[in-house]
Amino acid sequence: MQAQGEKWRQVMSWVVISTFLVVVMVPSPVIGARNCSFPAIFNFGDSNSDTGGLSAAFGQAPPPNGITFFQTPAGRFSDGRLIIDFLAQNLSLPYLSAYLDSVGSNFSNGANFATAGSTIRPQNTTKSQSGYSPISLDVQLIQYSDFKARSILVRKKGGVFMKLLPKEEYFSEALYTFDIGQNDLTAGYKLNMTTEQVKAYIPDVLGQFSDVIRSVYKEGGRSFWIHNTGPLGCLPYTLDRYPMSVAQMDKFGCAKPFNEVAQYFNSRLKETVVQLRKEVPEAIIVYVDVYTVKYNLISHAKKYGFEKGVIACCGQGGKYNFNNVARCGATKIVNGKKIIIAKSCKDPSVKIIWDGIHYTEASNKWIFQQIVNGYFSDPPISLIKNGLPCPWE
Ligand SMILES: *[C@@H]1O[C@H](CO)[C@@H](O)[C@H](O)[C@H]1NC(C)=O
Ligand SMILES: *[C@@H]1O[C@H](CO)[C@@H](O)[C@H](O)[C@H]1NC(C)=O
Ligand SMILES: *[C@@H]1O[C@H](CO)[C@@H](O)[C@H](O)[C@H]1NC(C)=O
Ligand SMILES: *[C@@H]1O[C@H](CO)[C@@H](O)[C@H](O)[C@H]1NC(C)=O
Ligand SMILES: *[C@@H]1O[C@H](CO)[C@@H](O)[C@H](O)[C@H]1NC(C)=O
């Protein structure tokens, strides 16, 4: 009995010691882990990160979109590159092909499921009724799952498929980026809801967002980079549609109620991320406060080399150079010839807002430079190549 008790004690102390060792040796997700080199990016979102999805399915973003960098429309609602383009570039990866784009695409280093006008929740209105893309986040998830399964299968055929599709291991090693939610907020206002009513459905929106993160995790995704939503009240699109009283405007020309609802969404999103981290402990989920960066830019425009004011660069005139029925690139037939009536301003490089809804390439570049170092991230880790720890190792 005694000997057995002794043995038991020995076993127990070994168990305790080895448990201790395991705990000590498992790298903390933030400190000490080997840094990651992401071989691919899979992006989900709306127009803030659409590199050609909506254009492929519903018609190309018209000129002068693309004028600054691509010199031709390039599926982006901007004069040039988006934050996601600067991100890919910074990770030494090619610009992301849109999943829906069947011509000239190369998915070796990832795919982009974002489409302009996408919401997290599927809408109960059609695109022609409300303008929102039917490719909501749940649909993007289906496309991603299908893309993953089929890539793995088709790549085995070899040949050209090896040069167009990601390696199987890239799906777990990739960076998964998300920039979506803004359209879920405007969707309620479009249905004439009050701010209270909009706030009331935010938990449902974020519940559906969480479902998607969990699903990507189940598929093997481990590194998540989530942008919060920008200052909605600073967009000409919002300001034009919902005229505000003087008291509702801040000193930078933004509508306070809309910025408040965006911030409300963001604080709930941040809580959602905290909750998700508990559910998917093997993942690293970075919450990036893009709102603050965009608002800093708008409120200190001059300091950062931009012109003051939330006036669109590309438009047709009016208080905000924005007309919802003749947006950037709108045309008119004059003497049998099609001419663009909503044109680019002379120098988009000093304008913050491009078309009343989206930012210029110059802004996007500035915003990216602010977030890349992790100063606006929670946890405050950098994205610079080899900067983010590797959760799968
Ligand atoms: C990534 O961005 C950082 C910060 O702006 C910069 O120092 C670095 O050179 C960039 N790397 C690449 C490969 O573009
Ligand atoms: C669409 O309608 C269904 C059924 O009434 C409802 O549960 C859902 O919340 C609605 N979605 C949106 C985005 O309003
Ligand atoms: C696709 O891109 C990858 C990586 O940039 C490259 O190695 C490959 O050759 C490209 N595929 C084709 C068909 O050009
Ligand atoms: C919202 O209100 C406007 C103005 O009263 C009206 O024209 C529009 O039909 C309403 N939209 C919905 C979806 O009820
Ligand atoms: C990870 O990258 C950071 C800089 O982004 C660097 O300070 C750190 O030493 C790197 N860690 C390892 C293990 O390479």
Q: Whose CA is nearest to atom 1 of ligand 1?
A: 90
- Average pLDDT, stretch 179-199? 97
Q: Whose CA is nearest to atom 13 of ligand 1?
A: 90
- Average pLDDT, stretch 308-335? 96
Report residues whose beta carbon is within 6 angstroms of any ligand 4 atom: 191-192
Task: From 115, 150, 257, 138, select the one nearest 196 (Cα to Cα).
Answer: 257
Q: Is residue 70 domain-resident?
A: yes
* pLDDT tens readout for residues 18-49: 443 333 333 334 444 556 789 999 999 999 99
Q: Is residue 328 domain-resident?
A: no
Q: Is residue 236 domain-resident?
A: yes
- Give me the chain's average pLDDT, please: 91
| Torsional class of 307: left (φ above 0), alpha (ψ -120 to 50), beta (otherwise) | beta
Q: Are strands 377-378 and 284-288 parallel, antiparallel or unpaired?
A: antiparallel
Q: What is residue 7's predicted lDDT score, i.e. its pLDDT?
A: 45
The backbone torsions φ and ψ at residue 111, rounded to the nearest 5 degrees and listed phi first, read -150, 155
Q: Is residue 178 domain-resident?
A: yes
Q: Is residue 230 domain-resident?
A: yes
Ligand nearest to the CA of 104: 3
Residues 6+ apart with CB under 8 A from 341: 316, 326, 330, 331, 332
Q: What count of other Cβ atoms lies within 10 Å of the Cβ of residue 355?
A: 28
Q: What is residue 32's predicted lDDT score, i.e. its pLDDT?
A: 41
CB 376 within 8 A of CB 287: no
Indicate whether 8 pLDDT > 70: no
Tell me, using a 6 A CB cutoff, whether residue 108 lines ligand 3: yes
* pLDDT tens readout for residues 139-148: 999 999 999 9
Rounded to 5°, angle at Cα 219 from 117 and 205: 35
Q: Which of 78, 151, 355, 363 is catalytic?
A: 355
Give this prediction's pTM: 0.90
Residues 6+ apart with CB under 8 A from 86: 364, 365, 368, 369, 372
In angstroms, the CA 181 to CA 187 distance is 10
Indicate whether 6 pLDDT > 50: no
Q: What is residue 85's predicted lDDT score, i.e. its pLDDT?
A: 98
CB 157 within 8 A of CB 225: no
* Ligand 3 atom at shortest distance from the alpha carbon of 109: 4
Indicate whether 174 pLDDT > 70: yes
* pLDDT tens readout for residues 90-140: 999 999 999 999 999 999 999 999 999 999 999 999 999 999 999 999 999
CB 84 within 8 A of CB 179: yes
In angstroms, the CA 58 to CA 296 distance is 34
Residues 6+ apart with CB under 8 A from 161: 154, 155
Q: Whose CA is nearest to atom 13 of ligand 5?
A: 34
Name the residue range of residue 61's domain: 38-310
47 a catalytic residue: yes
The count of domains in the chain is 1
In angstroms, the CA 122 to CA 274 distance is 24
CB 34 within 8 A of CB 106: no
355 a catalytic residue: yes
Q: Is residue 22 domain-resident?
A: no
Q: Is residue 141 domain-resident?
A: yes
- How many Å lie between the centroid of ligand 4 and the Cα of residue 190? 8
- How many Å lie between the centroid of ligand 5 and the Cα of residue 372? 14
Question: What is the CATH number for 183?
Answer: 3.40.50.1110
Ligand 4 pocket: which of 129, 132, 192 to mutate (most atoms within 8 A of CB): 192
Q: What is residue 381's predicted lDDT score, i.e. its pLDDT?
A: 82
- Average pLDDT, stretch 300-309? 97
Q: What is residue 392's predicted lDDT score, i.e. its pLDDT?
A: 53
- Average pLDDT, stretch 244-251? 96
Residue 292 structure tokens: 């603050």
Considering the chain, what percentage of its residues have pLDDT values greater than 70?
Answer: 89
Report residues whose beta carbon is within 6 angstroms of any ligand 1 atom: 89-90, 92, 369, 372, 384
- Rounded to a whole number, what is the distance in angstroms from the first to the last CA of the chain? 44
Ligand nearest to the CA of 121: 2
Q: Which of 179, 227, 358, 377 is catalytic?
A: 358
Q: Is residue 326 domain-resident?
A: no
* 257-293: burial string, b at 16+ Cβ within 10 Å, e else: bbbbbbbebbebbeebbeebbeebeebbbbbbbbbbb
Q: What is residue 382's predicted lDDT score, i.e. its pLDDT?
A: 81
- How many Å lie between the centroid of ligand 2 and the Cα of residue 214? 22
Tell me, using a 6 A CB cutoff, whether residue 94 lines ligand 3: yes
Residue 88 structure tokens: 């890919």
